A and B are shown apart, each in its own frame.
Chain A
Amino acid sequence: MSTLDFLFNGFAVAFQWQNILFAFVGVLIGTAVGVLPGIGPMSGVALLIPVTATLTSGMPTEAAAASSIILLAGVYYGAMYGGSTTSILLNTPGESSSVVTTLDGYQMAKQGRAGAALSIAAIGSFIAGIVSLIGLVLLAEPLSNVALKFGPAEYFSLMLLGLCAVSGLAGKSMTKALIMTVFGLLLATIGIDAVSGIARFTYDLPILYSGLEFLTIAVGLFALGEVFKTVLERDKEDGAIAKIERILPTKQDLKDSAKPIVRGSLMGFFIGVLPGAGATLASFFSYVAERKFSKHPEKFGKGAIEGVAGPESANNAASGGAMIPLLTLGIPGSGTTAILMGALIMYNIQPGPLLFDDHPEVAWGLIASMFIGNLMLLVLNMPLVKVFAKIIQTPKKYLLPIIIAISFFGVYAVQYTTFDLYLLLACGVLGYFLAKNDYPLAPLVLALVLGPMIENNMRRALTISNGDFSIFVSKPLSLVFILAAVAWLVVPLIMKLKGRNVIINDEE
Chain B
Amino acid sequence: MSKTFDRFASIAFLLIGLLFVIESRSISQSAYGSSVGPNIFPTALGVILILLSIRLLFETTKYEHGERIKEPVQYVKFLIIFISAIIYAAILEPLGYVISTFLFLLIAFQTMERGKWISTIVIASAFSFGVYYFFAEFLGGSLPGFPQF
A residues within 8 Å of B by Cβ?
Answer: 54-55, 57-58, 172-173, 175-176, 178-179, 182-183, 185-186, 189, 193, 195-196, 198, 200-201, 228, 231-235, 396-398, 400-402, 404-405, 408-409, 412-413, 416, 418, 421-422, 425, 429, 433, 437-439, 455, 458-459, 462-463, 466-467
Q: For chain B, residues 41 to 61, give those with C-beta under 8 angstroms from any C-beta of chain A.
A: 41-42, 45-46, 48-49, 52-53, 55-56, 59
Chain B residue, CB-CB nearest to A466: B35
Assess A405 versus B105: contact at CB under 8 Å? Given A54-B135, A433-B5.
Answer: yes
**Cross-chain contact B109 with A397 (CB below 8 angstroms):** yes
Question: Which residues of the other chain, A, contact B37 by a CB distance below 8 angstroms?
Answer: 196
Q: Are A231 and B81 in contact (CB under 8 A)?
A: yes
Smallest Cβ-Cβ distance to B10: which chain A residue: A179
Question: Is chain A's interface secondary structure helix, strand, loop, or mixed overall?
Answer: helix
User: Inside 8 A of B20's CB, which chain A residues have their CB?
Assistant: 186, 189, 201
A422 nearest CB neighbor, chain B only: B89
Distance in angstroms from B97 CB to nearest chain A CB is 8
Are A231 and B23 in contact (CB-based, < 8 A)? no
User: Are the C-beta atoms of A183 and B16 separated by less than 8 Å?
Assistant: yes
Using CB atoms, name the residue of chain B closest to A429: B82
Q: Is B28 an interface residue (CB 8 A)?
A: yes
Residues on the B chain within 8 Å of A400, using CB: 108, 112
CA of A178 to CA of B52 in the docked complex: distance in angstroms? 8
Q: Is the CB of A232 within 8 A of B38?
A: no
Interface residue B66 (Cβ < 8 Å from any Cβ of A): no
Centre residue among A178, A186, A228, A438 by max chain B CB count within 10 A: A186
Across the interface, do B77 and A437 meet the contact criterion of CB distance under 8 Å? Answer: no
The reply to whether A397 and B104 form a contact with Cβ atoms under 8 Å apart is: no
Tell me how far the C-beta of A490 lies from the nearest C-beta in chain B, rounded to whole angstroms: 15
13 additional A-B pairs beyond A186-B46, A195-B34, beta carbons within 8 Å, are A173-B56, A176-B56, A179-B49, A182-B45, A183-B16, A195-B38, A232-B77, A397-B109, A401-B108, A405-B104, A409-B143, A421-B89, A467-B36
The residue of chain B having its C-beta at the shortest distance from the C-beta of A194 within the complex is B38
Contact partner of A401 (CB less than 8 A), chosen from B28, B41, B112, B139, is: B112
> Using Cβ atoms and an 8 Å threshold, which residues of chain B touch A413?
135, 141, 143
Complex: how many Å from CA A396 to CA B111? 12
B118 at the binding interface (Cβ < 8 Å)? no
- Residue of A233, A418, A439 near B92 (CB, 8 A) is A418
CB proximity of B1 to chain A, nearest CB, Å: 6
Q: Are A401 and B105 in contact (CB-based, < 8 A)? A: yes
Q: A231-B74, A418-B92 are in contact. Are A404 and B85 (CB under 8 A)?
A: yes
Q: Which residue of A lies closest to B102 (CB)?
A: A405
Check if A438 sits within 8 Å of B89, measured CB to CB. Answer: no
Contact of B16 among A186, A405, A458, A463 (CB under 8 A): A186
Chain A min CB distance to B128 (Å): 8
Shortest CB distance B85–A (Å): 6
A179 to B101, CA, bound (A): 37
- How many whole Å from B4's CB to the nearest CB in chain A? 10
Q: Is the CB of B105 within 8 A of A408?
A: no
Query: Interface 1/0s, chain B 56-97, versus A by CB < 8 A?
Result: 100100000000000111110110011001101110110001
Are A189 and B41 in contact, CB atoms less than 8 angstroms apart? yes
Q: What residues of A have a CB within 8 angstroms of the CB of B131 in the complex?
A: 405, 409
A-chain residues with CB within 8 Å of residue B97 when the two chains form the complex: 409
A-side contacts of B30, CB under 8 Å: 196, 198
A-B pairs, top 3 by smallest CB distance, nearest first, are A467-B35, A401-B108, A397-B112
- CB <8 Å contact, B74 and A408: no
A–B Cβ pairs within 8 angstroms, 11 of them: A182-B17, A182-B52, A189-B42, A231-B74, A232-B78, A401-B109, A418-B92, A425-B85, A425-B86, A437-B6, A463-B36
Do B109 and A425 touch (CB < 8 A)? no
Q: Is the CB of A462 within 8 A of B34?
A: yes
Of all chain B residues, which has the CB nearest A56? Answer: B139
Q: Is the CB of A186 within 8 A of B27?
A: no
CA distance A468 to B112 in the complex (A): 59
Q: Which of A173, A193, A231 contacts B38 (CB 8 A)?
A: A193
Q: Within 8 Å CB of B11, what residues of A? A: none
A233 and B52 form a contact (CB under 8 A) = no
Q: Are B36 and A462 in contact (CB-based, < 8 A)?
A: yes
Contact between B13 and A402, CB atoms less than 8 A apart: no
Q: For residue B64, give the distance in angstroms from its CB to the closest CB of chain A.
A: 14
Q: Is the CB of B112 within 8 A of A459?
A: no
**Given the complex of chains A and B, what is the CA–CA distance between A405 and B127 in angstroms?**
9
**B85 engages A179 (CB within 8 Å):** no
CA–CA, A439 to B35, complex, Å?
A: 36
For the complex, give the distance between the alpha carbons of A432 and B53 in Å: 20
Contacts of B24 in A (CB 8 A): 200
Min CB distance B14 to A, Å, is 10
Contact, CB under 8 Å: B89 / A425: yes
Chain A's closest residue to B81 (CB) is A231
Which single residue of chain B is at the shortest CB-CB distance from A203? B23
Give, as a whole number of angstroms, the nearest-CB distance from B36 to chain A.
4
Cβ of A455 and Cβ of B109 under 8 Å apart? no
Q: Please, which residue of chain A has its CB at the minimum distance from the CB of B100? A: A408
Chain A residues near B41 (CB, 8 Å)?
189, 455, 458-459
Could you tell me if B89 and A198 are in contact, using CB atoms closer than 8 angstroms?
A: no
- Give the shortest distance, in Å, between B103 (CB) and chain A (any CB): 11
Would you call A182 and B48 a contact (CB within 8 A)?
A: yes
Complex CA distance for A185 and B9, rounded to whole angstroms: 17
- B5 with A398: CB separation less than 8 A: no
Q: Whole-angstrom distance between the alpha carbons of A458 and B135 in the complex?
A: 42
Q: Least Cβ distance of B30 to chain A in Å? A: 7
A51: nearest chain-B partner, CB-CB? B135
Q: Is the CB of B59 within 8 A of A401?
A: no
